Amino acid sequence: MTDELHVDWDPRSDPVQSNQIAAYDEMRSRCPVAYSRYRNWTVFRHEDVVRILDDHHTFSNRVSAHLSVPNGMDPPEHTPFRAINDKYFTADRMSAFAPECREVARQLVAGSADGQIEVMSALAEPFANHIQCRFMGWPERLHEPLQQWTHKNRAATRALDREAMSAIAVEFDSYIREQLDERRTVEAGAPTDVTSELLSERVDGRPLSDTELVSLIRNWTVGELSTIASCVGILVSFLAAHPEIQHRLRTEPDLIGPASDEILRMHAPLVANRRRTTREVTVAGRRIPAGERVMVLWASANRDETIFGNPDEFRLDRDPADNLLYGRGIHNCPGAPLARLELTIFLEELLAATDSVEPVTGTEPAYAAYPAGGFEAVPAVAVSRSSRPPNRSGGAED
């Protein structure tokens, strides 16, 4: 019985929280499949994670008693819902949304990219919030409630406060239902946006239920609010600490997309996802019974030395298929095209508006606590092009 299993590690312990990435690197070599005090198994190695992602029959995505569309489903139920999901992230849709995305990024950067800033609160969190509302067609009046909700959700999740987490989930669902109801009320006059379009979707010949619609939208939106903010913080922190790479992206902006993927491989914005075993299975020599919870640790697998060599070496010649940033298999991240678009445009606008982004002398970014990835705070100095003093010849500095 799992009650009798030896506990290998505590992902919420102080030593792990002080530097999650370093702790995962150490566990990967010492105990590649570890049983935790929270009664689940964590898988650290790239090879084992890939095996799990490629075998949805043995490692099911049905990990919760609550409906989760489509990522908490397995085939055949998963298939038609995933098909609906994927319609909203096509190349044509991304091209159409790009100008709006750029407008949001440019406005935020213009208001913050001059002088010392705290990146998470000034740029990362507002960008994730505003861009998701813009994509869904939601009004600006939701910006502040969603920001407050994100902070409450983060605090409750870290504290493992089940009662608070439940209440916070109900609160978020109320925002979604409000948007659905508003569009039903105006009927023919409803705005043409993603939320309105979803109301007309059908699966197996029937309309989606409100429960299914809310679940689908929740999975899109909650993931965006937290993960995109985390991505922005990681990217800005890395570029501030690596001026030579920052300079390269300023001179070769076509590299911003692949560079973002590589930076986020090194420091994961999303720490882990869950699976559940459907039968007894052995992974890296550890016997895992049927019905057990398994944590797929992206933050470790994407730094596996057997695949990437020195995991902290920034390289743009790696095989993109090895990078598990957006998952793999039938449950790979459906919103990856949108995330890549958002992050690329954000960095384009940040680099275009500044001469440099630098660390704040004497300070370090504050790491986020499990289960969140990235940073709590990223102090930086952004030097705006418009504020750069003239050089002796009277022109702008190079």
Query: pLDDT tens for residues 141-162?
Result: 999 999 999 999 988 888 888 8
Whole-Å CA distances, 341 to 135, 152, 234, 257, 387: 12, 28, 16, 8, 28
For residue 357, the cross-strand partners are: 382
- CATH for 2-387? 1.10.630.10
> Do the beta carbons of residue 58 and residue 277 sit within 8 Å?
yes
Average pLDDT over residues 174-187: 91
Tell me what pLDDT residue 334 has.
92
Tell me what pLDDT residue 6 has.
87
Q: How far is CA 262 from the centre of its chain?
A: 14
Domain spans, the chain:
2-387
CA separation for the pair 304, 295 (Å, rounded): 16
The first and second tokens of residue 183, run together, are 């569009």
**Phi and psi based region of residue 21 (left: phi greater than 0; alpha: psi -120 to 50; beta: remaining):** alpha
Tell me what pLDDT residue 187 has.
66
Whole-Å CA distances, 367 to 3, 18, 296, 324, 370: 32, 7, 21, 21, 9
Average pLDDT over residues 108-132: 93
Tell me what pLDDT residue 71 has.
93
For residue 42, the cross-strand partners are: 34, 295
CA separation for the pair 139, 18 (Å, rounded): 38
Query: pLDDT tens for residues 208-238?
Result: 999 999 999 999 998 889 999 999 999 999 9
Query: pLDDT tens for residues 282-320?
Result: 999 999 999 999 999 999 999 999 999 999 999 999 999
Determine the Cα angle at 67 with ends 63 and 71, to 5°.
Answer: 60
Q: Which 8-state DSSP code applies to residue 92?
A: H
